[in-house]
Amino acid sequence: MAKKTIKDVDVKGKKCLVRCDFNVPMVDGVITDENRIQGAVPTIKYLLDRGAKVILCSHLGKPHNIFTPGFGLTKKEKKALEELPKEQQEEAKKAYIEKALKNDPIKFTLRPVAERLNEIFPGKVKFASDLVGEDAKAKVSELKEGEAVLLENTRFYAGEEKNDPELCRQLSEFCDIYVNDAFGTAHRAHATTAGIVQHGFAKVAVSGFLIEKELKFLGAAIENPERPFVAILGGAKVSDKIGVIENLIDKCDTLVIGGGMAYTFRKALGFDIGNSLLEEDKIELAKQLMAKAESKGVKLLLPVDNVIADSFSNDANTQISEGDIPAGWQGLDIGPKTIEIFAAAVKQAKTVVWNGPMGVFEFEKFAVGTKAIAKALSETDATTIIGGGDSAAAVAQLGYADKMSHISTGGGASLEFLEGKALPGIDCLNDK
């Protein structure tokens, strides 16, 4: 069912707890890419302009994981922690986290995000140095209509990822209306992404404009696409996208498979694939998926030629292979004939969903196929939906981003949505 948005509720004078995705890259406390901040601006502006009291929250990085490189744990400290009885480990972890944050307080704090938001909305955004503590309570109580406060990193609290009811209860004190605008975390049932609604503390729960847009494009592609509907899947492993393939076979007219996972399909067809990436235990599944596509009248396109290399390196010797791949060689990109076939499928489409590169995109020599697909999408009049990750990076690097209908903000969430799974952060929102 369609979900309510902030346009469906009266926000004036109401405390609106807004879950954003401010997980932005930073170097020494300086934001290096503010796309996610800009993505949240329309929702925040709408609420401020209509007199809401806006309480923003987000995670940043993985401060809960004290084994993350750069956190400053010595080998001795790590070993000592691992040897503690389980019931003592949680308290010990908290102590280590506090120590780490004192040593490197800039690394995981959202303060720079608050400062940037206060530039975008001059003088309207404050920062609270905790999530549900005294500073947060004080800053929220001081809010006037049309003002906002950004709470500190949600993942400083173990209860966030554990979906702890007590943390949800504390957050609910800041919440007349819950707004989820973080599609990138909507597949996680954490306290701030879904739990505050799931545990019954937030009765009014709606989406922001970012999630509304994701549902509009991804939802339409899955439920009611303009046809022909072409789905392009790449990436390394079949196992990562089994659910997506199975679901899309039921939805699309043409399914295009490239990337490393295509070699498992090639093997299932009886080709030798040399040293190419292979999931031996998925060969039978690949045969079943091909049979399913055929039975449903779905055209399944696989590479007919490949760029093969004698080593996994940008400096490797290469050649084009149309049949078996010789021993000692491996496929690292789709070949020129395949590019023509895949591009022709895009040209005929009215709706295209693309998730995953066609080759080893991080090596310039083997990024040709991925770039060609991006170019083909930029030249079509079809509705084009990019499912995040390397696909999004490709269209951005090549300057095609503004030519795409929609670039999803959530890699994992997009995949689960394309699989047909219910996303907790969306499922919990009020239906229209």
**Catalytic: 203?**
no
Q: Are the C-beta atoms of residues 48 and 124 closer than 8 Å to each other?
A: yes
Element counts in the chain: helices (H) and strands (E): 17, 17
| Annotated active-site residue in 19, 36, 53, 213 | 36
| Annotated active-site residue in 124, 126, 137, 237 | 237
**Catalytic: 234?**
no
Q: What is the amino acid identity at position 16?
A: C
Q: Number of C-alpha atoms within 13 angstroms, CB side, residue 95?
A: 8
**Catalytic: 371?**
no
Q: Are the C-beta atoms of residues 298 and 253 closer than 8 Å to each other?
A: yes
- Could you identify the residue written with the tokens 């069912």? 1
**Catalytic: 188?**
no
Q: Which tokens sit at 13?
A: 């004078």
3-class secondary-structure state, position 267: helix
Q: Are the C-beta atoms of residues 351 and 229 closer than 8 Å to each other?
A: yes
Any bridge partners for residue 355, and if so which? 233
Helix H, strand E, coil C: the string for 301-342 is ECCCCEEEECCCCCCCCEEEECCCECCCCEEEEECHHHHHHH
| Annotated active-site residue in 146, 219, 411, 412 | 412
Q: What is the DSSP track for 79-116? A: HHHHHS-HHHHHHHHHHHHHHHHHHSTTTT-SHHHHHH
Closest CA to 192 of 425, 426, 400: 425
| Annotated active-site residue in 274, 388, 389, 425 | 389
Please give the Cα distance from 201 to 176 (Å, whole number). Answer: 10
Could you list the active site residues?
36, 237, 389, 412
